[in-house]
Structure 1
Amino acid sequence: MSKTLIYKFGGASVKDAAALVNLADILRNRLRNNLVIVVSAMGKSTNALEEILRMKLENKDYSINSTNLKDFHLSICRDLFPESHMIFPQIKNYFIQLNHELNKALSAVNYDEFYDRIISFGELVSSRIVMEYLCLQNLLVLWQDARELVVTNSDFRFAKVNWEETKRNCQLQLKPKLAQFPVLTQGFIGRDRQGKTTTLGREGSDFTAAILAACLQAVSVTIWKDVPGVLNADPKRFPSAQLFDELGYAQAAEMTYYGASVIHPKTIKPLANSRIPLFVRSFVDPDLPGTKIHQNAPIQNLAAIILKRDQLLLSFKVTDFTFIEERHISLIYEKLRQLKLSVNMLQTSAISISIVLDTQLFKLQQLISELKGEFEIKYNEGMELVTVLHPQKELLVDLLGEDEIFLEQTTRNTFQAVRKAKIS
């Protein structure tokens, strides 16, 4: 019987020196053998790296951005480590490697592969700093490159896991280490069979924790967040949001599918298949029990509000006076698949198809270019997708008010609407 526990700490839990001190305090009485600690990039590092990539693609000077990102990490280390500590040359070396990669040619054609090589530096630097700080606090952990464990295909930015090879790596490489020490590794990243770095999708560190748990048949996974657990709405937007003490796998999966940011959408399936419970707990108040997601949880009928920003609303209208047919939908979906774009909402009428997508760099122009010969295409940027599970009429009135609704859809248990994003 496995005794392994998986802890995952996201970007907010390692965003600055005070956060790392808090992380060490959480682990001080919990650290033991058979514990895997998965960490994300620090704070908004991934966003900063994406901005650098955008500037490079547009042939703009990104050197100041790169220097600022390096200084951000060095500043955290200056607050935590003595001047002579080895972490400082290690970080500088990472950024030498990063700039070496950034000096290579980049185009829209190879963007996804380039993206994965660059974005992975956020997790690599973060995990090295966390590991060195824990050791400085006499909390001995081993550093593990997740790319030596998680094997994927070459679908860059949205890599699919090779479960058989990943499980073999975890059993042969990770399990023997865990028998003697806790191990710290990175979320979000993997490697294909050619040795190229891949990523599992934005915010994919939760998924990494679930992958390792399934491969090691862990006792549980705990995701440490800046909220007391899974709530029925974002407490930053809805101060009266309520906590779910427990959720079933299916209900949690439904919430993540529609965009609930507290858990990555792919996290639930491997845990449900292995019946491994998932705990969502607060790193602000680690003694709170949080939310338990497991097999036998009762159905919760509390309405859940999920808001997704940075959405694109696209409408495809046929130009030859025919009605929408299956081939029209298939054509659009095939182009979306090629561009690795996922639909968050779909609605058809007699002569048009409307879809809602996450905004992604330069992908809109590519999609329009590919389909403008078949359809008249209109789009709106800067939209917000509102999803309410188990909606109540009074709640919808309060939520939407006098907003201009661009698209609306209601099913038995779900309400969705697209509106112009509000400034907050």
Structure 2
Amino acid sequence: MSDLPLRAQMAVALGRTAAKVSRLTGRGDGSVIGGRIGLKLDPELLTRLSKDRKIVLVSATNGKTTTTRLIASAMTPLGEIATNAFGANMPTGHVSALAAAPNAKYGVLECDEKYVPAVLKETRAGVVALMNLSRDQMDRAAEIWLLAGKWRRALEEAPDTHVVANCDDPLVTWGASTAKSVTWVAAGQHWREDSWSCPECGGPLDREGVNWGCRECSFARPKPEWILHGERVTTPSGQTYELTGLQLPGRANRSNAAIALAVVSRFGIEPETALPLLAQVKSVAGRYTTVEHEGRTIRLLLAKNPAGWLEAFDVLQPAPGPVALSINAQVPDGRDTSWLWDVDYRILRGRPVWATGERRLDLAARLEAAELDFTVVDDIDQAVMAVPPGHLDVIANYTAFQQIRARYGRVV
């Protein structure tokens, strides 16, 4: 850090002070305000802090926070890792993460999808992991085909960057295909409703099993080097490893783990070393946290868009286990709740269901259309106390999740 220009050193110091004040006053973890002040004082601070470090960028619509945590955990044998563990995934959060670990030679940074081109240019990341693209916050985020196109242009101009990409997602494949060096991972694609058309020519995509290809042009699924099949992953050398030791539940987290294994292999970390380290991750920024309250065991699940809700349903306790759903529509969530109609809530039939959150009436209209029996409550506490002592799964979108997490415990 001492080799930074004086202005950059002052920017880092003042950013750290602001972050500390934010934490002490209970306004947040400080990762955003610290980076914001740092960049205000030195607009080139991210570039300066990235110099001489080996940077990994992780981006996707869903799973980037979890995958970032998994990669950072698996890379600990290399030494200290700078990482934005709590999801501050824009340049302000990247600055805070790198400034907080001045001696770390490695950085693993979660990156918002639309910031990938800018952050790649500033950090000159050596590895970029791209996992999935689906509709999310459509009132303020770019159309996902536009995002994939921006990835293509950015990677075409980054010849020294190696990409680890999920070849089961056609949009990700298209976005990554201009990179000079790519490791293709068959990590699965459970939500397919945003990728039935070819991003190259607009023609229909045909699917047969895991394979896909355009009916009108040559765009097709690349041959994967890493293959996820069920609870096992096969490496480029043909060796197969069990993922049953993972403590994070569900098929989405097995996909995240497969990507993580492919990324860390770029740094010489073999699955034998990485898998026990992946298994140490039990919760990520409150996701999958289980807390006790008045005899109830509450598990917190985050779902921000249709694809995320599909994965949350995958890890619910077996029916007829109760579930509470909470929906807000604040700026971080996206103001538009029309995406609720893309979620198939019929899977919740036969369960006691409670609907809450600031937009509980929007949610109630959707649940009624799905012909579910449900109860609307004004507050999550009412749902919790309506459940007999035992287990309750709570699924919430972003700000609702944070409110519930603060209410019942911020276990990380």
The answer to whether the superposition gives a TM-score over 0.5 is no
Which structure has the larger Rg over C-alpha atoms? Answer: 1
Of Structure 1 and Structure 2, the greater strand share is in 1
TM-score (normalised: structure 2): 0.31
TM-score (normalised: structure 1): 0.30
